[in-house]
Amino acid sequence: MGKYRKILVSLDGSESGHNALVQSFALARDEKCWLLAATVVPGIDGDLELVGLGDVRAAMRKPGEAILAGAQALAETARIPLKTVLEEGEAWERIAHLADDQRCDLIVMGRRGLRRLERVMMGSVTARVIGHTDRDVLVVPQGTRLSWKRILVAVDGSVTSIAGADHAINVAASYGGELFALSVVDLPDEAFADAPKIADQLLEKAQRYVAAVKAKADAAGVPCTVATLEGPVHEVVTRIAREREAGLIVTGSHGRTGLRRLLMGSVAEKVIGYAPCPVLVVKG
């Protein structure tokens, strides 16, 4: 694929963060790129010259240093070159800034076990990073494994979804995977009865969206199956991902959206919150 030259993986000492690191090793091998692991500890406001404050700072840095030491040991065992960085401050802000400063192409983050969306995403570091970076973000749920064999891409005709589909085709072509292009029409049941023409028009548009993806996939020699379905988008996408045993979901998203806009129920965040496999958010 060759799109990612430097990958930043965010570690917080959790099992999901550990899994994100392990999956980033495989990605680094496949992409033949640089890997950077970062941990963020709380910052300290005040004069470091004050008696005792330096000791407090050192104590607060110790857990982060231990996390990075463990990551380094794991990388050495896996024979993966790894650079580590310990940052201080607000976690999401430092991760987004570090990705810019180090010119990373991709940010890899873990996601804890499947819970209600409000507890998984709202206010989380992952959500804030996605909302404030223009880098692609790979979110790896706890206990899942990244695989290129079956890739699900959701399209809605937007510029960002087209970018996501193009990237999904590129990934599938590079690693011999197969693609499933899905477009979902989300309308209340009464809309199909009260305004059947509008519903039919939306379904026709959805069919055109997936047909365009299939045409590009065919041209790239990528096996591609398409479908248009009805229902809440995130529910349909994650259900199909389970049924198809997808190893990766690809979705498009705007660049720096800002937290308020990000957490207003966007489809991408709901897909991430409920996905049974890693989700790659491609920034348009």
pLDDT digits over 106-160, tens only?
Answer: 999 998 765 554 444 444 788 888 888 889 999 999 899 999 999 999 999 888 8
Contact residues for 192 (Cβ-Cβ < 8 A; gap 6+): 199
Q: Stretch 161-175: mean pLDDT, rounded?
A: 93
| Ranges 67-81, 173-187, 238-252, 257-271: which has the least confidence | 257-271
Question: In the CATH scheme, what is the code of domain 1-144?
Answer: 3.40.50.620
What's residue 278's pLDDT? 96
In this structure, are residues 165 and 181 in contact, taking their beta carbons and an 8 Å threshold? yes
CA–CA dist 110, 19 (Å, integer): 7
Write the pLDDT tens digit of every residue in 187-214: 766 655 666 778 788 889 999 999 999 9
Contact residues for 197 (Cβ-Cβ < 8 A; gap 6+): none
- Return residue ranges of the chain for CATH 3.40.50.620: 1-144, 147-284
Closest by CA to 10, choosing from 154, 121, 148, 108, is 108
Is 147-284 in CATH node 3.40.50.620?
yes
Task: State yes or no: pLDDT of 267 exceeds 90.
Answer: no
Write the pLDDT tens digit of every residue in 175-193: 999 999 999 988 766 655 6
What's residue 170's pLDDT? 94
Residue that has been written with the tokens 């790659």 in this structure? 280
